Amino acid sequence: MTDQRIPVTVLTGFLGSGKTTLLNRILTEKHGQRIAVIENEFGEVGIDQDLVINADEEIFEMNNGCICCTVRGDLIRILGNLARRRDKFDRIVLETTGMADPGPVAQTFFVDDDIKDEFCLDGIITLVDAGHIEQHIGSSTEVMAQIAFADLIVLNKSDLVNSTTLASLTGRLRDMNRMAQILPANMANVPLEKVLDVGGFNLDRALDTNPAFLEPEYPFEWGGIFRLKAGDYILAVDTGPDPDMSAIWIDAGQPQVELTELAEHVFRHFSHAAHPVGNADLITASDTHWKLQLASPIALTLQAPRDGCFALFTQHTPEEFDIRLYDINDQLCEPVTAHYFNANHTHDDEVSSVAFEFEGTLDPEKFNTWLSFLLRTDGADLFRMKGILAITGDDRRTVFQGVHMLFDNQPGAAWGDETPYNRLVFIGRNLNRDYLEGALKQCLS
């Protein structure tokens, strides 16, 4: 049965990040949906709109013993009223203030039964200003929460920063929130279908909306396959944020090879001892783990011993170190395919996300006891969690999600012939990856 409830999209973002620009796009572009708007910042909707409601942000604590369970009283009141007019609109967009914590908004949809019956939280969209977000991350707990809660992060005004900064920002945001999709944009020009049908809080769609969070963590951020004639090539690398950089130059074999497949092979070679190389050194196509010395810009010779496909994997993105490959005629060689990987380095942000995937089934009693303890003790620091669990004795997947101390789960598809596994992501403040992983594995039957 399809969900008959009214979807609610929440737009968050610091002042000047482009929330209103995106809201006005949502209201003016043709998408066939009638939209009611709840605004917490007065008077910024630039067009005539029948249903614009201005709300005073009213946060209050639920009197239910949950210390971090705060909800938005204004939302309960306004949504309760809008429920009577549900045939007049198809969707609600809530624009929060720049300083709003999305936590109480999300929790409202978990704890209020009347709201749950009539409305579903479709997604939290967080806009960030690419030019200023670095300074905000460091200084604003609200911005950190907005990033941590997001299902979609729109990296707006990305035309105002260079590609190196953009790549670095993307990595930093990815570290903070692996669950969210990150889209660079100018003037908030993201495709509206990405904004209006996120399904971020829909357990039926729990894992089909986040391409990166369960991708393994690789020791390299970028890989590219080049189709080359046999011969020597020049790899030019500028200086960057680090004094050296790991890389592997390898024969990719068949032309149709998948880069992600190759990454699995290359992955283990990065753990081997590295061979330092500097300017004018020769690199042969092999499994060797090279460490490029980058005290100053260098140019290396890369060998292609035959006509065919060769792959380069680098610890950092080409944008960060301006990495280029030239043939002997100084012609730039473009990769036929390239991929940005989920690197496991961190920026030491207070907010981060950790993801786990492991086989085996969890003992329900042990897991419930541990999770209850975790939520009770660390719930205030856990912004969101989401995943699929394999529970001993249950032949179906258990899909779950949580916001702070609030937790929701439902049975998913049967495992069938598939080996049961567990996939989880936690987004929070001061997460201890080793502790979480160890505790989770202790719950295995």
First-last CA distance in the chain: 35
φ and ψ at residue 343, rounded to 5 degrees = -80, 155
Q: Which listed residue (27, 31, 33, 73) binds other proteins by CB under 8 A?
A: 73
Q: Which listed residue (25, 31, 76, 212) binds other proteins by CB under 8 A?
A: 76
Q: Is 44 in the site for other proteins (CB under 8 A)?
A: no
Of 54 and 409, which CB lies nearer to other proteins in the complex structure?
A: 54
389/411 Cα distance (integer angstroms): 10
Q: Is 74 in the site for other proteins (CB under 8 A)?
A: yes
Q: Is 64 in the site for other proteins (CB under 8 A)?
A: yes
State whether the Cα torsion 117-96-192-352 is positive or negative.
negative
| Nearest-approach distance from CB 33 to other proteins, in angstroms | 20
- Are 92 and 35 a contacting pair, CB within 8 Å? yes
Of 61 and 261, which CB lies nearer to other proteins in the complex structure?
A: 61
Alpha-carbon distance values, 67 to 60, 70, 303, 378, 432 (Å): 11, 8, 62, 11, 22
| Nearest-approach distance from CB 149 to other proteins, in angstroms | 22
Of 42 and 435, which CB lies nearer to other proteins in the complex structure?
A: 42
The piece of 108-116, 122-130, 212-220, 311-319 that touches other proteins (CB under 8 A) is 108-116
Q: Is 365 in the site for other proteins (CB under 8 A)?
A: no
Alpha-carbon distance values, 157 to 149, 180, 193 (Å): 21, 18, 20
Matching residue, tokens 């614009």:
52
Pair type for strands 222-228 and 308-314: antiparallel
Length of the chain counted residue by residue? 445
Q: Is 34 in the site for other proteins (CB under 8 A)?
A: no
420 CB-near residues (< 8 Å, 6+ apart): 359, 360, 361, 390, 397
Q: Is 99 in the site for other proteins (CB under 8 A)?
A: no
| Nearest-approach distance from CB 17 to other proteins, in angstroms | 21
Of 73 and 278, which CB lies nearer to other proteins in the complex structure?
A: 73
| Nearest-approach distance from CB 80 to other proteins, in angstroms | 10
Q: Is 60 in the site for other proteins (CB under 8 A)?
A: yes
Of 114 and 264, which CB lies nearer to other proteins in the complex structure?
A: 114
Alpha-carbon distance values, 181 to 129, 151, 201, 285, 390 (Å): 16, 6, 14, 35, 25
Of 42 and 373, which CB lies nearer to other proteins in the complex structure?
A: 42
From residue 109 to residue 148, the character string flagging contacts with other proteins as x (rule: CB under 8 A) and all else as - is ---xxx----------------------------------
Q: Which listed residue (29, 30, 47, 56) binds other proteins by CB under 8 A?
A: 56
147/379 Cα distance (integer angstroms): 18
Q: Which listed residue (24, 49, 54, 189) binds other proteins by CB under 8 A?
A: 54
Strands (E), 113-267: 119-129, 152-156, 181-184, 222-228, 231-237, 244-253
Q: Which amino acid is at 36?
A: A
Q: Is 63 in the site for other proteins (CB under 8 A)?
A: yes
* Interaction residues for other proteins, span 265-294 (CB under 8 A): none
Instruction: Point out which residues bind other proteins (CB under 8 A).
Output: 42-43, 54-56, 58, 60-64, 71, 73-74, 76-77, 81, 84-85, 88, 112-114
